[in-house]
Structure 1
Amino acid sequence: MATRSIATEIDIAASPERVWQVLTDWRRYPEWNPFIVGLHGRHEAGARLVATLHPPGGRRLTFRPRLSEFSAGSLMAWRGKLLVAGLLDGEHRFRLEALDGGGTRLHHVEDFSGLLLPLIGDGLLERARQGFLQMNQALKRRCEALASQAPA
């Protein structure tokens, strides 16, 4: 089955622990996250989440993905579907990579698949990619601001 992917990354001048703390503090997403404006659920693989996205130039969309992976400090992924599995599925992943010198590289990726994938226009995927980039920048700003406030 064909897939289409959005893959972004950003380097953050903060420890992986700090980035993970901000990334998994879902109740604070509305304070800083322009793309995932709401995320609720338990921090454990298999948990059902409620996610609200606001892609640039698009309308808000709420869906209920399942947390497929949750490896504390390094990886968080969920899998969502449109109506039924196989119609239009997406797997959204955040992976943290420790950098030499104490920073963190965030890998922010989504793989789309399903019968409706050929009907999904490039504009929709580009809006989602822009949302990823906006979120990455906002996460970087928040983590670096918090890191600069932390006692040495």
Structure 2
Amino acid sequence: MSELTIPEYDPATTVRSVTVEIDAPATLVWQVLVDLERYPDWNPFCISAKSTLEIGAPIEMLLTDYSGGTEPFPWVEYVCAVVPERLLSWELLPTTESRQAARRDQVIEQIDENRCRYYSTDAFLGEEAHQIMEDTGAWVLRAFDETAVALKKHCDALYAERQR
């Protein structure tokens, strides 16, 4: 398997979730990640997502407000990397209305035929990166950690069920 290339980011402005070992093949984990319609079944943070997952396509999400709010909020980013069974990424691009920029990478690393690792990162980019990290880094980390744990639990259960 070739080395996966992910851009290097400033660690001071990058959130990285816990790494979870999933007792399921990378293929199954990939199927879960790209099955956006089923996100409400398992994902505590991204409770709705719609996209074609083509490069450049929008991914329209409804996110749980981990910052202390009580209502989910809409969020749109754009697909920037799709490497089946290895990497799914989207990014927030700066606009004239907002200079915020970020890139989320969801990484799957195969351990063997029936196990893999998963983690995700959110790199805050551009002029406002340090401020965004200060304002949102803690809750983004919590959201990504909970997502990683939920993905593991969901994939472990799916794979165990399929083995019966």
- TM-score, reference length from structure 2: 0.82
Kindly report structure 1 stretches of 4+ aligned residues shifted beyond 6 Å.
Answer: none
Q: Which residue of structure 2 lines up, in the alignment, with residue 133 of structure 1?
A: 145
Residues 100-115 of structure 1 mapped to structure 2, 5 A cutoff: 100=112, 102-115=114-127
Q: Which residue of structure 1 lines up, in the alignment, with residue 158 of structure 2?
A: 146
Q: CA RMSD in A?
A: 2.3
Query: Structure 1, residues 80-122: CA drift from partner, whole Å, max 9, x if none?
Result: 1465487111100111110036211112111001222333363
- TM-score, reference length from structure 1: 0.88
Q: Name the CA shift for 1:58/1:83 in 2 (closer, same or farther; >3 Å).
A: farther
The answer to whether structure 1 residue 98 and structure 2 residue 110 are counterparts is yes
Kept in 1: contact 2:124–2:133 (CA 8 A): no
Residues 63-102 of structure 1 mapped to structure 2, 5 A cutoff: 63-81=75-93, 83-84=95-96, 87-100=99-112, 102=114
98-107 or 87-96: which moved more? 98-107
Secondary structure at 1:44's aligned position in 2?
Answer: coil
Q: Tell me the distance in 2 between the aligned counterparts of 1:15 and 1:22.
A: 11
Q: Tell me the distance in 2 between the aligned counterparts of 1:121 and 1:109.
A: 12
Q: Tell me the distance in 2 between the aligned counterparts of 1:28 and 1:144.
A: 16
Kept in 2: contact 1:79–1:92 (CA 8 A): yes
Q: Tell me the distance in 2 between the aligned counterparts of 1:12 and 1:121.
A: 28
Q: Tell me the distance in 2 between the aligned counterparts of 1:101 and 1:73.
A: 12
Q: Tell me the distance in 2 between the aligned counterparts of 1:82 and 1:54.
A: 22
Q: Tell me, which stretches of 5 or more residues in structure 1 are unaligned?
A: none
Q: Percent identity?
A: 23
Q: Name the CA shift for 1:67/1:121 in 2 (closer, same or farther; >3 Å).
A: closer
Kept in 1: contact 2:46–2:62 (CA 8 A): yes
36-45 or 59-68: which moved more? 59-68
Give the aligned residue type for 1:27: E
Q: Name the CA shift for 1:126/1:51 in 2 (closer, same or farther; >3 Å).
A: same
Aligned pair partner of 1:7 in 13, 16, 21: 16
The answer to whether structure 1 residue 49 and structure 2 residue 59 are counterparts is yes
Secondary structure at 2:47's aligned position in 1?
Answer: strand
Q: Tell me, which stretches of 5 or more residues in structure 2 are unaligned?
A: 1-8
